[in-house]
Amino acid sequence: MSKKEQHSFSSVLSINPYKDTYINAVSSFLNETASPVFSKEQYVISYLNTKGFINSHIAVSKNIPDEDLYDAIYNKAYDELGLDQALTYQIQYIETFNNLDDENRNFHVFIIDPIIIDDVFKSATERIKYIDYIIPSPLLLKSLYSKELIEDSGVHCFIYFQENDTFITIYNEKDFIYTKSLNYSFIQMHERFCDLFGERIEYDDFINFLSTQNLRTTDSIYKEHLIKLYKEIFSNINDILTYVKRALEIEKIEHIYIDSQVPTVTKLDEMSEVELNIKSSSFDFDYGFESSEKHIDQLHALMQVYTTLPEDQRYECNFTTYHRPPKFIQRASGRLVLLAVASLIFAFMYPVSYWTLTYAQDMQYHILNTEYKEVHNLKTTREATIKNKEADKNKVKTLLTNEENEYTEKKNTLIKIHDVKVNYPMKASLLHKLTKDLNRYKVRVDSIIYHDSATDDPTKHMKLNLISSRDKKITDLIKYLTKTYENKFHFSISEISYNTESKLYFSELKVNLL
């Protein structure tokens, strides 16, 4: 919530529309409520599951002005993603910065059918009418970095199991880069477990087993099949991470944060670290809230944290269509009522104000007339003074113009002298010749130092710091240069060094102009 919103609302209500759960926050205390009610002083936030929207990357030209940016992204999304032209999708986006692309601006776009929003939030809006903010769930993780709950940078992977969806999200250097919905929500896990077990068990029994039994110690008949299910899940996650690292050119994923909507005795982070061989942790973050509940859905906690962030430290991606009505004075009906009241007041006040203003104007006329005479005399005196100052100013201006002309002539003379001395054409010619030869032998130059002393030492020489992947390229280059420019330049080299870290050869080539 921005600073402006913090002053406008006294509490925050976060909604999980898929389980119809509500968490109310007053100050720093979280309390689950079964009967939420509408309040003008209450800020309402909710989220969309990853499988409910389309996520993609779109690039548009930097030449497009900001006022046309949404239309450009909207049209390109329909063209590149093959969206149904008969449907009017709701599209939101966040900008990403790619230093390698100088011509385009890059965006992550989030696309959803408004009908899906209406279906998901039908129950919630029947209770509280308005929802101020609806955000894609992966973007809530930005608050962990903004609130410095995760201080280190690098590539981090977040995995969160929910009843209706399970998402995997990746942040690089504290910025969102990728998200995907896994086909292993708790409902889907239950169906897959029944297939592996070969027998239908109740969903509540399955969830109860996850919540109360530790796979390390339990002797349950479910253990073997649940281990198979977890291995299948982590195998799928590993395939996704392999694809992401290749597609986005990521060298390494430093950390995995993994947790679930349902509390589990089995440590998912320990299992993740074993199966994926990547350091893993649970969502054990110090959000700064107190709660009477033993377990709070992590997305509820993230939504509560998200509302406390300034606008410049969070992603602005709001899908809500349930806006609050404008204030009374901003509505057409409100303005009409105020106009009618103002007209009545004006009608009663007019006679009294007319006589009062007439008397006041007479008094004001006499005062202003007296003041005018004084000001007129002062004006006449100052006009004479100004004319004298203008004459002095013109004299000084003439002298200044003469000095400026003289300065300009001297400046131009110095520029010509500088151009003749510094921009010596021999340097450009020499560099042009050497550049072709360097490219021919695939030798790079780190720096060039040119020395031209016309007093003590008339010799003109140049030092080139060479870099090559092989020392033979450097020696072949020296042989070629010495043979080709035998009577024009003298080439010398003292040593060729090798850097083990960069695996490159370095040398200093001295070129003397004969």
In angstroms, the CA 136 to CA 134 distance is: 7
Mean pLDDT of 159-164: 95
Residue 413 belongs to what H/E stretch?
helix 332-422
The confidence band for 6, taking pLDDT boundaries of 50, 70 and 90, is very low
Q: 152, 173 in Cβ contact below 8 A?
A: no
Same domain, 254 and 374: no
Same domain, 139 and 25: yes
User: Looking at residue 428, what is its pLDDT?
Assistant: 66
The three-state (H, E, C) secondary structure of 459-471, written as one string: CEEEEEEEEECCH
User: Looking at residue 503, what is its pLDDT?
Assistant: 85
Same domain, 342 and 431: no
Tens-place pLDDT, residues 385-415? 888 888 888 888 888 988 888 898 888 888 8
Same domain, 139 and 8: yes
In sequence order, what are the residues at sequence separation of 6 or more whose Cβ sits closer than 8 angstroms to the Cβ of residue 334? 327, 328
The confidence band for 420, taking pLDDT boundaries of 50, 70 and 90, is low
Same domain, 185 and 272: yes
Tens-place pLDDT, residues 446-472? 888 877 655 455 567 788 888 988 888
Burial label for 315, CB within 10 Å (0-12, 13-18, 19+), is buried
Same domain, 29 and 133: yes
User: Looking at residue 331, what is its pLDDT?
Assistant: 55
Round the CA-based radius of gyration of the chain to a whole number and report it.
37
The confidence band for 25, taking pLDDT boundaries of 50, 70 and 90, is confident
Mean pLDDT of 416-434: 66
Structural domain for 496, as ranges: 425-513
CATH of the domain at 460: 3.30.70.2830
- Which of 284, 312, 338 is the last residue in one of the domains? 284
Mean pLDDT of 426-436: 72
Is pLDDT above 90 for 327? no
Same domain, 204 and 226: yes
Same domain, 136 and 167: no
Mean pLDDT of 370-382: 86
Mean confidence (pLDDT) of the chain:
86
Same domain, 73 and 169: no
Q: 444, 468 in Cβ contact below 8 A?
A: yes
Tens-place pLDDT, residues 100-140? 778 889 999 999 999 999 999 999 999 888 999 999 999 99
In angstroms, the CA 109 to CA 450 distance is: 52
User: Looking at residue 498, what is its pLDDT?
Assistant: 87
- Which of 372, 389, 422 is the last residue in one of the domains? 422
The confidence band for 153, taking pLDDT boundaries of 50, 70 and 90, is confident
CATH of the domain at 274: 3.30.420.40
User: Looking at residue 219, what is its pLDDT?
Assistant: 86
Same domain, 299 and 277: no
User: Looking at residue 7, what is its pLDDT?
Assistant: 43
Mean pLDDT of 260-265: 91
User: Looking at residue 252, what is its pLDDT?
Assistant: 93
Q: Which residue has the higher pLDDT, 361 or 275?
A: 275
Burial label for 299, CB within 10 Å (0-12, 13-18, 19+), is buried
Same domain, 221 and 255: yes
Strands ordered across the beta sheet of 104-112: 54-61, 104-112, 90-96
Tokens 């003749």 label which residue? 420
Tens-place pLDDT, residues 196-237? 999 999 999 999 999 999 888 888 888 999 999 999 999 999
Same domain, 471 and 351: no
Is pLDDT above 60 for 424? no
The percent of residues above 70 in pLDDT, for the chain, comes to: 88
Q: 446, 474 in Cβ contact below 8 A?
A: no
Tens-place pLDDT, residues 339-355? 666 666 666 666 666 67
Q: How many domains does the chain have?
A: 4
Mean pLDDT of 44-72: 93
